[in-house]
Structure 1
Amino acid sequence: MLDYRYQTFLALTEEMNYTATAKRLHITQPAVTQHIQYLQQELGVELIRYENRQLTLTAKGIQLQKDLYLLQREITKVQKQLASTIEHTTLTFGASLTIGEYMMPDFIESYLNQYPTHDISMVTDNTRHLIELLEHGKIDFALVEGEFNQSIFEFQKIAEEPFIAVCSEKCSLWKQDQSINDLFSTTILVREEGSGSRLIFETAIKNKGIHLDSFSKVMTIGSIGAIKRLVGKNVGITFVYQKAVEEELKNGILKKIPLSDFSVIHPFYLIYLKRIQLKEMETIEKFLRLIE
C-alpha cells in the first residue's frame, strides 16, 4: 500500500479541491493540508500551487502523480500475484474505437490460440482518454490512430490504413470523380473531439486550408456504428478508415466517394510508456509478434 499521505496527494490531484478530497477520504480538511505540507517538506519541492483562487499542480507535482500511478499499479499487481495460487498473465491494454472494433477481434483470437491461459482486458475509447489511462498506469499499452507525445511513449507501427470519404448508395456523389471542395454543400458526420480519426481528418483538411465549418452542416456523433447507419440512410457523408466500412462497401450499402485531391493513408501505432517493467515488456513483445 502507498503511504497514506501519498494517497491523499493522489486524491487531491484528481479532485483539485481540499474539501472534496477530505470528504472522499473521510478525513478533515486540515488533515489533507497537513499531509500535503508534510510531503512538500519531506521531498523539498512544491507540489501544489494556489493561484487566482485555483489549485494547480507544479511540474514536480505532475511528475510525482505519474510516478505514483505507476507505483500503485505495480503494488496492485504484486498483491494479486501473492493472493493467487495460480500464476497467470493478464494482457491489459486499450484500443481506439476503429482499431478495437474492426481489427482487434482477429488479433485477440490469435493471441488466445497461442496463449490460452492468459487473461485479456481491453478498454475501447478515443485516443485522448487512452493516453490518460496509460499515464495513470491503468493499462499496459494502447493501440491508437491519433497523435501522441513521442518523447513520453515508445511506439511501434502496426498497420497503415486508407482514410476515405463515403456516402450512401442512394447519394450521387460516388458516381464521379470530384474535388473535396465539391462536398461543402453536404452534411458531414464526424466523431467527437479527442477521437483520433477526427484529428486525422481535421489535420488533413487544414493542410489544404480547409476548416470543418466549410461544410454546410456538421454533426458530431460519438459512435462509428451510428455514423455508418446514418450515412447509409443518406443523412450525410463521412470520412472514415476503410477498415471500418469494409462490410458496408462490399454489400453496397455505402460507396466510396472518389476524390481527386484527397488521399490519406494513416499509420496505427502500439504505444507504451518508456518506463515499463521487464515482465510487461515481454508481454507486449509477444503481442507484437502476433500482429506483425
Structure 2
Amino acid sequence: MVGQMALNFHQLHIFYTVAERGSFSAAAQALHMTQPAVTMQVQSLEDYFGTKLLLRSTKRIELTEAGQELMPYARRSIELIRDTDQAMSLFTKQLKGRLLLGGSLTIGEYILPRLLGPFGQAYPDIAISMKVMNTAQIMEDIINHQLNFGLIEAPVNHPDMQMEAVMSDELHLVVPQGHPLAGRTDVTLTEAASYPFVLREQGSGTRLVMEEQLKRKNIDPSDLKVVMDLGSTGAVKCAVEAGLGISFLSSSSTKHEIALGLLHSVPIVDTKFKRQFYSIYLKSALLPISAVTFLTFLRENDLRKWL
C-alpha cells in the first residue's frame, strides 16, 4: 500500500455502487458523476490496495477474489456512516436541508400530513417536499434520484432497495349511516362478505392487505360483490357514505367521518386487518441528514398521539 494515501470512504462507496449496479455507466448515473471520474476513483482504490478489485473484460463487470472480500466491508462502511448520521442527528435541532419524500396514497393523504406538522415544529429549518403517488412511481423517482426515500403501504422486492417497517396501521370495516350493520357491536367476516363492497383499485396496498386476510380466513376475494373499484381512499369514503357499498379502510383515513357519524366502524369477530408501512430507499445511496432525521423521528416517537 502507498504510504502517503489514506483509505477513502468516498472510493469505497463508489466501488460498492459499481459492483451493485454491474457497470461503471450505471454507477456514474446513480452517483451523479461522470463515468471517467468513477473509473478513476476505483483505480485509485485498486492502487491503494495494490490489487485488482474488478474485472472489466466482460460486458458486465465482475468482482475479483479481492473485490468479493472487500464488498461486505464496503457495505458495512456505508451502513456505519448512515448510522453515524442517525446517531448525531439526535443531538441537534438546528438541522438545515431539504427533505424530498414520496408517500403512497393512504400514507400521503392521511398519515404524513399529521406527522409533518410535529416534525416541522421540532426541525423548523428542514424544508419538506412530498409527492403523493403509487408505489411504482415512488420507486422510479427514488432510482432516478428525484426522491430521497419513500413510505409505502405494502412490501416490495427490488434488488436495489432497502426496506424497513417504520409504523403500523389497521384496516376497519366501515359502513354508512342506516346500514343493517351500522348498529352492530361486531360481525363475522363471512356475514360482512355477503354485502356489496366498494374497494380501492387492484394492486393498492389497502386492497392487498384485505385480500390476503380474506384468503387466510378461507374466503375467496373474487367472491365478493364488488360494485365499484376506485383509485383513491377519498373516493371510496364518498361512495360508502352514499350507500353504494361497504369497505375496508385505514382507521387513520376515516377518523373525521366516524366522529361526525357519517360512517360507522364495525369490529370483525376474531379478525384483525393489521399491516406495516415501510420506508424504502436505495441501498447504495447515502441518505441526507434530513431524511435520516425524519426516519429516526418515525422510529422513536409514539405516532398514535398525532394519528
TM bracket (short chain): 0.5 to 0.7
Match of 2:124 in 1: 116
CA contact 1:69–1:137 (8 Å) conserved in 2: no
Deviation at 1:68, TM superposition (A): 5.7
Q: CA deviation at 1:156?
A: 3.5
- Which residue pairs with 2:291 in the alignment? 284
Question: What is the rounded CA distance, in whole Å, between the counterparts of 1:115 and 1:178 in structure 2?
Answer: 44
Q: Secondary structure at the match of 2:257?
A: helix
Distance of 1:69 and 1:123 partners within structure 2? 23
Change in Cα spacing, 1:89 to 1:281, as seen in structure 2 (3 Å) is closer
Q: Does 1:199 align with 2:199?
A: no
- The offset of 1:66, in angstroms, is 6.2
The answer (yes or no) to whether the contact 2:199–2:226 under 8 Å persists in 1 is no
1:71-110 correspondence runs (5 A): 71-72=31-32, 89-110=97-118
- 1:128-277 superposed matches below 5 A: 128-149=136-157, 152-176=160-184, 177-277=186-286
Letter in 2 for 1:290: F
Distance in structure 2 (CA, Å) of the matches to 1:69 and 1:196: 30
One-letter code aligned to 2:30: L
Question: How far apart, in 2, do the equivalents of 1:111 and 1:204 lie?
Answer: 33
Q: In the TM superposition, what is the alpha-carbon distance from 1:91 to its structure 2 partner? A: 0.7
Identity of matched residues, %: 29
Question: Structure 2: how far apart are the matches of 1:66 and 1:248?
Answer: 48
Letter in 2 for 1:226: A
Letter in 1 for 2:123: Y
The alpha carbon displacement at 1:274 in A equals 1.1
Unaligned residue ranges in structure 2 (runs of 5+): 1-20, 35-95, 301-307
State the aligned residue count.
219
Q: Give the AA of the match of 2:133.
A: D
Structure 1 residue aligned with 2:85: none
Alpha-carbon distance in structure 2 between the residues aligned to 1:181 and 1:68 = 55
Residue matched to 2:135: 127
Corresponding residue number in structure 1 for 2:39:
none
Gap change, CA 1:179 and 1:91, over 3 Å in 2: same
Work out the CA distance in 2 between the residues paired with 1:235 and 1:65: 53
